[in-house]
Structure 1
């Protein structure tokens, strides 16, 4: 029984990761519809793990169920994204002031400084590693402020923005900017300049927000065009 349960969990995880990767890489576009049967056939998975994976993705906000019509990749709501960024900026700015008001410098600041101000550019992370470190940077700063509810809400916002924030690290210039800006934010914090840190943080987040919006629109357009060409070729084939 335990073996069967583990096998189902493993299959559900595999379906989850495959479908999430399709969404993240725009092989499935916002608004695309699909059925549990089609997904199961494509991934060679039975109905139970497919449904478990879909419910998990639904809870995370990536897909939605349609009444008697299967499932759909959740369309991008750019207004909602902007509102989430507004809330994120508010929380992180407040964290800057709370950190500077602490009686002692949090250990997290020294740890983050070692990561974001390396001795040589060759020590900088790239790709998915840089993306994960960036997410940790912002979450660790908020956590260092010492407000558990602020930390919890901020992590929820981070989870909901992850699908587009990852695109900020698909361009080398954005990775370079992230290292420079993170180092400047930390320098201001460690000097006790809360307002300066808050202003630098705000500019950093807003620049990232603008970049990921631009990249997201471009990637959706490119994927839609490639899909259209693929359909035309398929129709022309004998």
Structure 2
């Protein structure tokens, strides 16, 4: 049986006495867009960083295509846009992507293709330090798309984008998924996620729901926001009641 693109198995991460995530288990289905949802501090970024081998789980496992990320034979299978991955000082937009392309053994044409896909080809020579927040987000997405990966992992990809940019992002992600890519994105923008994803994973350190968006919302009868808070608040009542 083929391993799913993403599988978390009882993932727990503690920082001293602070529990970031606890016994978190879910899978991400191939060829679909999955939204990892939670409030600030719910453990979304910790989960993604554990998946990518950037933090070591206290217990449990986070697997990519059935393996730990560090054991993945070809890193080009996974594209990443994650907060905290900085750029070299003074580098240009195109220079940043050329650095990544060289590291991944990609042809120069991959840089031009990625710039065009995210709408930055007109500012290829501009220094990254001079970019707006929205343009920086597009550059981060271009880096994730560079190798035409099977799995794309995005941490809050709509941050800094204006309404037209968010609409553009939705279209680009849908096109990627339509070509067979699997996308896992974290977000706290519930209304936007509702227009973008196929599946939903809701966490608040622990798992509250994992499955199709249509099942959670009864085919659109309920809003994602309403179902989200119902799940979170009912768990809080159980814990504190």
User: Shorter-normalised TM-score: what interval?
Assistant: under 0.3
Which structure shows the higher helix fraction? 1
Q: TM-score, normalised by structure 1?
A: 0.28
Larger of the two Rg values belongs to structure: 1
Q: TM-score, normalised by structure 2?
A: 0.27
Which structure shows the higher strand fraction? 2
